Amino acid sequence: MTAVGNGSQTAGRPTRLPRSARRKQLLAAAQEVFVAQGYHAAAMDDIAERAGVSKPVLYQHFPGKLELYLALLDTHCDGFLAKVHEAMRGTSDNKERVSGAVRAYFDFMDHESEAFRLVFESDLRNDPAVRQRVERVEQGCISAITDTIISDTGVSRAHAELLASGLVGAAETAAQFWLGGGRQVPKAEAEALLAALSWRGIASFPLQGEPAAGAGQTESP
């Protein structure tokens, strides 16, 4: 089995890497093993071998398999949430915000499909610590979109949260379906379809101070 990373050994002796670099190397190896075997079938021996290190080195960084798995989840969850927040803050154009939120899910699927499976398709979803992290991602996305809806439309938080949860659920489910279906629809087209569907729903709620669609005007998203 080929070790992850470059320079893991020199002249038969393990290369001493900075702690942060070693941690990154171990996480990369663990991700490959977890995705290929699932959490329950994966063993620390497999991960150490994949990384080209001894088990003591692996245990210096992570006290056990669950801690290693949770560290992986934290890395990917934080990265994904940052993309959703960036989509909300990157423009004041609400149509672009919807497109950006949808794109974040499809990008996560397309470029980090292994990470997506770890976060959203884990065989450890019933573990409280894992479930808490998955829920943190979902609630973080809902919260970011909720705040935008409230500031723009003035609807109550309860209404805004319901709308945001619908958008998040649609984006996650559609992106997952797209990935599972072998990407039969081109990615850009898939994003545009879902963004158009979502925007037509969100756009029916007018900006604060503007009349609702149908009340003397026609909404044309």
Residue 42 belongs to domain with CATH number: 1.10.10.60
Is the pLDDT at 17 greater than 80? The verdict is: no
Same-domain check for residues 97 and 192: yes
**Which has more pLDDT, 206 or 31?**
31
What average pLDDT does range 56-85 have in this prediction? 92
118 Cβ neighbours under 8 A, 6+ residues apart: 31, 34, 35, 72, 73, 76
Is the pLDDT at 110 greater than 60? The verdict is: yes
Same-domain check for residues 123 and 174: yes
Q: How is residue 202 written in tokens?
A: 């969100």
Same-domain check for residues 55 and 116: no
Same-domain check for residues 92 and 158: yes
pTM: 0.72
What is the tally of structural domains in the chain? Answer: 2
5 Cβ neighbours under 8 A, 6+ residues apart: 25, 28, 29, 51, 52
Is 179 inside a domain boundary?
yes
pLDDT in tens, 134-161: 889 899 999 988 888 887 777 889 988 9
- Host domain of residue 158: 71-202
Please give the pLDDT value at position 219.
42
**Which has more pLDDT, 97 or 3?**
97
Please give the pLDDT value at position 111.
80
Please give the pLDDT value at position 212.
46
Is the pLDDT at 14 greater than 70? The verdict is: no
What average pLDDT does range 89-117 have in this prediction? 85
Residue 144 belongs to domain with CATH number: 1.10.357.10
Dihedral of the alpha carbons of 35, 36, 39, 45, in degrees to the nearest 10: -120
